[in-house]
Structure 1
Amino acid sequence: MLRRSLLALSVAAVACGAVVLGTSGSAGAAPPASTKGKTYVALGDSYAAGYQLPPPSVATGQPVVGCDQTTGDYPHILAAQLGLKLTDVTCSGATTVDFTNSQDVTGTPDPAPQLDVFKKIQPDLVTITIGGNDLGFTSIAGACAATPPGDSTSRVIGNGKLGAGLLQYATCRDYFSAPTSANGGKADNPYDKLPSVIAKVKAAVAAVQKAAPKAKVAVIAYPAIAPDAKNTPKGGCYTSLKQNADPTSMINPFPSALPFTDTDIPYLQVLQQRLDAGIGQAAQQLGASYADIYPSSLSHSACQPESTRWVEPLTPDDGGLNVLHPNLRGTTAMADALNPVVRQLFAPVAAPTTSSATTEPTTGTSATSGGASAAPLAATGSRTPVGATVLLGTLLLAAGASLLLVGRRARRQH
């Protein structure tokens, strides 16, 4: 969910590593007859667009080059699994506003509103991933990125903007909890914004349903960026850019950095958990289907080793520039979560077992993958997981081994 203009990564820090394309259990099987040839439109942001994925993914140039869409995104994988005819209008940086308005992208003509394309096609199926940019995870991640303890350059970025409100806080939880008068009114508490964001997502899903009443609608939110307590390593997740620095590497001198403090990992985890749960609840209230990727993704967060994680840390180690975004295993996992949901949507209705039996048609039902329905937003008040949608704040990777990470002073807490 990241606009490239918000990413200040040095080209010298392009991540390297072995590319392992996750394989679906149904990837080698022939598409089911119930879905083969169905028209499919994918809507959403960079988590749906496969932002900056490494090879074998390649840029699609769709709907415009500036959308940073790749062939490794979950819509392409799902379409291949189920034999769907895909039109992919997902675009990195999209918010719910961009469903009905032309999105402002960098360096290219702006794409048409996503719903305009959708209306013209009137597809059999639509998938939706949206809401993370409405919450503002670019600003959140920027404020939460922390320098190592004792670093004299430690500072907090006011709402992710370099030079704004440079006040020092031990954690971004403290920063976002501080009175707005103490930081120039820049720190909009993301927890306070959740209800309005969920309302926007619900309105966007309703607009999709209205635009093509016959289309099957499947919603999927975001895989976990931060782990829950059960999946957090004993030593925590905090890894600074300097901690794993390899000055001999010309490709990725700062591998696998996740500079979020032990206090902020659960803070971010709860935030994303509530976002995902609210999105799921909104979809199901409207009778749309919801694929719940969140529970299964907690053991594959950005805190996990490269071999098992689905989301890359602040400095990716998979060969792409997919900062705090899914890797190829992650996009495959998202497709796999949607696969049984879509199959169910198009499954033939069973005939009555006897001539005297009657079968009432089922309407307005909503399927949830993994057997876990999204809990009501009000029921997620405890500080448990979050995995949010993304992103980093203004970051400067200097050539060589030196780095100035603009965040606030990190205080390791064990």
Structure 2
Amino acid sequence: MCALVAAWVAVVAVPAGPASAQPHSVAADAGTDYVAMGSSFAAGPGIPPLQSSDGASACGRSDVNYPSIVAREIGADLTDVSCSGATTAHVLRDPQGTRPPQIQAVTPDTRLVTITIGGNDVNYLGSINAYSCQASGGSGCPAVDRDAIERTFPELPGRIADIVRAVHAVAPQARVHLVTYFTLLPDSGTCAVAPLTDEQAAYERSIAARLAAATADAATATGATLVDLAGASRGHDACSADPWVESYRPAQGRSTYHPNEAGMRAAAGLVRSALASGGVTRTAAFRSGIPGKCVDVRDAVSADGTPVQLYTCNGTAAQRWTYVPGEGGTLRALGRCLDVSGGGTANGAKVQLWQCNGTGAQRWIPGPDSSLINPQSGRCLDDPAASTADRTQLQIHDCNATDAQRWTPTPAVAGLQE
């Protein structure tokens, strides 16, 4: 328990007493600096809505791609430079149109990086689209240069590893996660919406397998964390009843053989699991300075607007909060985030559970005396009048170093009671 508590030690000096004189004394963008790099399988072309980030339209960068979902759920500060058509060279050294190499987004403050890259180096999407065109009797179908693909594969693990090393050269403390590509075809056979001959399908499966292996080899060589999306998405191919990717004949505006919303949600879940396994995020009960009480979601209801309250510590899911130690960000329980109602900043604004949305109403950072500070308001999570009664809805209030504002993260054990 000591190590967990130590990870939540105050890192921002906020004076005790009224905070209203300087309500924005705490950085409003507090949270993990996260850079997302890669190709279209990270960017999410065809999935509305577009991000508001620079170059989002040209790159097909969706606001619900897996980096965006992860950033909202952990409260990270995301710089997403993923771009459709990107190769390892576009990440490491070459401009892509008017955009500089993606590695330039990494700074010494970067703490988290996700990368999905390599598919365009070996023409993964280009070849399966070309073969689908050919097999369906299309006209003007491009050819597939298998010799070029075969020449590239031996170099691919080193190219991906060089990107990880370049990240660490700039940001030695960054955790790098290499996310593999979605599986596009079933283990055997094809279907009407993924038209390929048996031989073409076999070759595409070999590209997919070798691409995943190259990514895994790069992770092993560099100490990066591998996120095996290729394995997790088997059974969710374009021919499946529950596809995570579009088919060769998608709905208007969608991108052939690219991830859909369900796929991006699943990819984000895998990245979140990797963050938890690697200690980037932790899950704990937040115990009040009022003995025996914890931060609790009323009746364990996950609906938006459910009050977040004081309640006797009981180890249930309603009291298990996932957070980023030290860095700050969101506090997440039951698939939702701790939120200041209406984005309020005044004393007495109540807190609730709400869909994670990346706003300042859902940012919390560790402060002095085990406090939790909402940077948008500069105020602390507070138990009104230091109540000891179960079901007292919590609020924000001027930071004052009292027991009503002490929230100590403690390993959450199911069924544990005072």
CA distance, structure 2, for counterparts of residue 63 and residue 156 of structure 1 = 29
SS of alignment partner, residue 235 of structure 2: helix
Distance 1:268 1:95, change over 3 A: same
Structure 1 residue 347, shift from structure 2 partner:
4.9
- What's the counterpart of residue 273 of structure 1? 209
CA distance, structure 1, for counterparts of residue 61 and residue 158 of structure 2 = 27
Greater strand percent: which structure?
Answer: 2
CA distance, structure 2, for counterparts of residue 145 and residue 279 of structure 1 = 25
- What's the counterpart of residue 82 of structure 2? 90
Paired residue for 1:339, among 265, 272, 277?
272
State whether residues 300 and 309 of structure 1, in contact with CA within 8 Å, keep that contact through their aligned partners in structure 2: yes
State whether residues 98 and 114 of structure 1, in contact with CA within 8 Å, keep that contact through their aligned partners in structure 2: yes
Structure 1 residue 258, shift from structure 2 partner:
1.7
What letter corresponds to residue 157 of structure 1 in structure 2? P
CA distance, structure 1, for counterparts of residue 50 and residue 140 of structure 2 = 37
Q: Which has the higher contact order (CA 8 A, sep 6+)?
A: 1
State whether residues 64 and 111 of structure 1, in contact with CA within 8 Å, keep that contact through their aligned partners in structure 2: no
Paired residue for 2:50, among 58, 61, 83?
58
4+ aligned runs moved over 4 Å, structure 1: 146-149, 153-156
Paired residue for 1:111, among 83, 99, 107?
99
Runs of 5+ unmatched residues, structure 1: 1-31, 160-185, 230-235, 240-256, 350-414
1:158 to 2:143 alignment? yes
Distance 1:111 1:348, change over 3 A: closer
Structure 1 residue 205, shift from structure 2 partner:
1.6
CA distance, structure 1, for counterparts of residue 276 and residue 142 of structure 2 = 46
Distance 1:207 1:263, change over 3 A: same
SS of alignment partner, residue 106 of structure 2: helix
SS of alignment partner, residue 52 of structure 1: coil
Distance 1:302 1:191, change over 3 A: farther
Structure 1 residue 187, shift from structure 2 partner:
4.2
Distance 1:299 1:122, change over 3 A: same
Paired residue for 2:263, among 319, 330, 333?
330
Distance 1:122 1:141, change over 3 A: same
SS of alignment partner, residue 36 of structure 2: strand
- What's the counterpart of residue 79 of structure 1? 71
Render the CA deviation track for 1:87-125: whole Å, top value 9, x for unaligned.
1111111111112335333xxxx1122111213x63111
Paired residue for 2:167, among 194, 208, 217?
208
Normalising to structure 2: TM-score of the pair? 0.56
Normalising to structure 1: TM-score of the pair? 0.57
1:314 to 2:248 alignment? yes
CA distance, structure 1, for counterparts of residue 205 and residue 268 of structure 2 = 22
- What's the counterpart of residue 185 of structure 2? 226
- What's the counterpart of residue 190 of structure 2? 237
Q: Cα RMSD between the aligned structures?
A: 2.8
Paired residue for 2:238, among 281, 296, 302?
302
Which runs of structure 2 are paired with 1:10-159 in the superposition (5 Å)?
37-53=31-47, 55=48, 57-63=49-55, 65-105=57-97, 110-119=98-107, 122-147=109-134, 157-159=142-144
CA distance, structure 2, for counterparts of residue 131 and residue 348 of structure 1 = 28
Distance 1:188 1:139, change over 3 A: farther
SS of alignment partner, residue 34 of structure 2: strand
Runs of 5+ unmatched residues, structure 2: 1-6, 10-29, 283-418
Structure with bigger gyration radius: 2
Distance 1:258 1:60, change over 3 A: farther
Number of residues of Structure 1 aligned to a counterpart in Structure 2: 257
State whether residues 227 and 265 of structure 1, in contact with CA within 8 Å, keep that contact through their aligned partners in structure 2: no
State whether residues 146 and 261 of structure 1, in contact with CA within 8 Å, keep that contact through their aligned partners in structure 2: no
Structure 1 residue 41, shift from structure 2 partner:
0.9
Render the CA deviation track for 1:235-259: whole Å, top value 9, x for unaligned.
x4242xxxxxxxxxxxxxxxxx322
